[in-house]
Amino acid sequence: MRFTLNGTFRRIDAHPLKRLLDVLREDCALTGTKEGCGEGECGACTVLVDGAPVNSCLVPIAQINGARVTTIEGLRGRHPLQHAFVEHGGAQCGICTPGMILAAVALGKKPTLDQMKVGLAGNLCRCTGYSAIYRSIDAVTSTARRNRGDRKDREARSGSRTKKPRTRAGVTR
């Protein structure tokens, strides 16, 4: 099976109905893509195939022959959404985050709140941190806020700065 993975051409020898999710995690050693439910309900395994989000747990590798696949690793940690998720608490336990971010990437430039809700309808967050996720996406996509309000936003949040390290510690613990 041949496909382009995060901009690099790959040739994989695998069972043709092996799930794309397993191929990514096991054959390509890209473990950023997570498995949640394994049946298309939670969206944790979301990746982009030719730019459109799909559940990689339901895609047999045979179906992506010749396609362009983007995983969370393909954003190389530099995508503004990734920074925004860190900045605005969009990631809590983190298992839904790679899928959330990729589904959010597919939303395009300036999604409204409704578009975000519809676009992320296939992604579950068990920490129920949806508001923070919408806030994170909003922070990136609304350029007005990026130029002007973001600083204000940060200043406003600096009051709760003491809280931030505590969450960090909570994660490492």
Partner 1 sequence: MAVIRDVMPVFELYQPASIDDAIKLLDKHGADALVLAGGLDSMDWLKDRLKKPKAVVDLGQIKELKGIKETNGGLEIGAMTPLSEIVRHPVVREKFSLLMEAAELVASPQIRNQGTLGGNVSQDTRCWYYRGGWTCYRAGGNICYADTPTSVNREHAIFDADRCVAVNPSDTAPALVALDASMVIRGPKGERIVPAEDYWIGPGIDITRMNVLAPNEILTAIRIPPTMAGAQFYFEKVRDRQVWDFALVNVASAIVVSGEKIVKARMVVNAVAATPRRLKNVETLIIGKARNEETADMAGKLAVEGAETLRHNAYKVPLMRNLVKRAIRGAGATWTS
Nearest residue (CB) to partner 1, 14 versus 145 = 14
Single out the segment in contact with partner 1 by CB under 8 A; choices: 18-26, 71-79, 130-138, 157-165.
18-26
> Scanning residues 82 to 141, which ones bind partner 1 (CB under 8 A)?
103, 106, 118-119, 121-123
Provide φ and ψ at 55, rounded to 5°. -85, 110
CA distance 22 to 144: 40
Task: Name 104's Cβ contacts closer than 8 Å, sequence gap at least 6.
Answer: 81, 116, 119, 120, 133, 137
Examine residue 36 and tell whether it contacts partner 1 (CB under 8 A): no
- Rg over alpha carbons for the chain, rounded to the nearest Å, is 17
Please work out the total of residues on this chain that contact partner 1, with binding judged by CB under 8 A.
Answer: 34
Nearest residue (CB) to partner 1, 40 versus 80 = 40
Provide φ and ψ at 5, rounded to 5°. -110, 115
Binding site for partner 1 (CB under 8 A): 13-19, 22, 26-27, 38-41, 43, 46, 49, 52-55, 58-60, 62-63, 65, 103, 106, 118-119, 121-123
